[in-house]
Amino acid sequence: MKLLLSNTVRAAVVASAMFCAAALTTEVHAEANAAGDDAMSGIHAGDVLVRLRAISIMPSVSTTGALSTLNTDVNNATVPELDLTYMIRDYLGVELILATSRHQLTSSIGGLGGVNVLPPTLLLQYHFNHAGRVRPYVGAGMNYTLFYNNGLHAGGQPVSIRNHSFGPALQAGVDVQVTKTLFVNADIKKIWMHTDASLGGQPLGRVSIDPVVVGLGVGMRF
């Protein structure tokens, strides 16, 4: 009887030990899988995000002086955009946006010609839900705008413009993870930019372009 009881106790102890070992193994695997999911879906300090977007640039034009009298306007443009984001914290990134576009100016006396616009923009971004697959973000910063390849004219005379401007920029968007390194992106920005125009040395006024920029694209995490 004592031998039977001893064997029963021994079996119970062994079964209990095996159950504890199995439970511990399951917990370790769950933690490993969770870590894998986090690495799969999140962004973290030190990551570099590269996005390529197709953007629609929609100017919100205001003018002063003779440019107002002439009802001067600026057309929309659709161009590619490249941007680079470096994550300085899990939730905080710095983004540089690069794109260039050509815009035609119209007026009540006809077309005024075109000018190229290059507005590199630097933004500080806050990323919500940085460890998830769906990651909204907001940003704010500054842009420097270069106006070049000026082909503006009026009455057969060239129109001169100021080549540089500085202005603020705001941004909101979302990244949606597709694979470990690939994600899709939707983004909207408001950028403030302007230039002053003159004809034959006489000022014509200021045109503020101030576009809303809407973009869709893909990105890679490095």
Residue 60, pLDDT above cutoff 60:
yes
pTM higher than 0.85: no
Domain 44-221: give its CATH architecture.
Beta Barrel (2.40)
> Domain map of the chain by residue range?
1-41, 44-221
Q: Is the pLDDT of residue 189 over 70?
A: yes
Per-residue pLDDT, 184: 98
Q: Given this model, what pLDDT does residue 41 score?
A: 72
Cα–Cα separations (whole angstroms), residue 196 to 58, 61, 65, 174, 208: 20, 13, 10, 35, 9
SS3 assignment, position 187 = strand
Q: Give pLDDT tens digits for 212-221.
A: 999 999 999 9
CB 138 within 8 A of CB 95: no
What pLDDT does 1 receive? 42
What does the mean pLDDT of the chain come to? 86
CB 164 within 8 A of CB 148: no
Q: Which two tokens stand for residue 116?
A: 């190229």
Q: 172 falls in which pLDDT band (50, 70, 90)?
A: very high
pLDDT band at 112 (very low <50, low <70, confident <90, very high): very high
Q: Of 16-25, 172-181, 183-192, which gets the smallest average pLDDT?
A: 16-25
**H or E segment and range at residue 40:** helix 2-41
Average pLDDT over every residue of 129-141: 96
115 pLDDT band (50/70/90 cuts)? very high
Q: What is the mean pLDDT of residues 99-107?
A: 95
Give the list of residues 6+ apart from residue 74 with CB closer than 8 angstroms, or none. Answer: 59, 61, 103, 104, 105, 106, 207, 209
Task: For residues 106-130, give the mean pLDDT.
Answer: 95
Residue with more model confidence, 1 or 153: 153
pLDDT higher than 90, residue 163: yes
The residues facing 98 across adjacent strands are 82
pLDDT in tens, 1-54: 443 334 443 444 334 444 344 444 444 344 444 444 454 578 999 999 999 999
Answer whether residue 65 shows pLDDT above 70.
Answer: yes
Of 170, 97, 181, nearest in space to 133 by CA: 181
